[in-house]
A = this chain, B = another copy of it.
Amino acid sequence: MEVKLPTFDSVFSIDCVIFGFEAGELKILLIERNEEPFKDWLALPGYIVEQDESIDDAAERILYELTGLRDLHMQQFHTFGEVNRHPQGRVITVAYYALIRINGQKDLRPVTQFARKAFWHPVNELPKLAFDHSEIFNTGFNKIRRRLNYQPIAFELLPEKFTLTQLQSLYEAILNKKLDKRNFRKKMLSFGFLKELDEKQKGVSYRAAKLYKFDKRKYAKIFHNDMSIDK
């Protein structure tokens, strides 16, 4: 059974790679497509940009429509423009990423019929995705890995109050390697933008860890410049 699809001329689209961290695992947000092409496939949340919206606005709108998530701070990271990346015609897509705390309460509700559902999936063992979305994901993952070194992106993935162990295991998940506990703590604390709280973890069946907060104001003061190389 052949499905006849419309084709189109130049179209812009947006695709989103949204990272979350839950249960010690790094995850991304996927949707199950409800439309041809690639009906029933898993894909990154993505759709077509309208005439009268900037691409940044489009990214926010599209993510919301497909997943119900709003007000993330998304950043563009690459544009994919191979001729045949979309079977229906010429579609150039601008890829965005964001990092957010996964919030168990809020569930993910697509607003359009275009996605059947949206859900978190561990970044390890990702299935094959629609279009060139696997490649888009990989490019995005490499970007945030690099960016982790000079931007405070990890804190967007953790709850407001977190333990140093949680922070470390997030770094380990992103960088995909083990870090030394003592050195990690020493270094993180030396930056001076972590605020130690008077609270402790609750509900654990072992010694409770201290909680910390990321202090944006201190961070901004410390790093008005970048951390460049030489002198």
Residues on A facing B (Cβ under 8 Å): 9-12, 49, 51-56, 58, 76, 78-79, 81-83, 90, 92, 94, 146, 148-149, 171, 175, 179-180, 183-184, 187, 226, 228-231
Contacts and interface: CB of A to CB of B under 8 A. Distances in A.
A12 B229 CA distance: 36
Contacts of A148: 229
A78 B55 CA distance: 12
Given A10-B10, A10-B11, A183-B231, A78 B76 contact: yes
Given A76-B79, A81-B94, 18 more contacts: A9-B10, A10-B10, A10-B12, A12-B12, A12-B81, A12-B92, A53-B83, A54-B81, A54-B82, A54-B83, A55-B92, A92-B92, A92-B94, A149-B228, A175-B228, A175-B229, A183-B231, A187-B230
A51 B10 contact: yes
Contacts of A179: 230-231
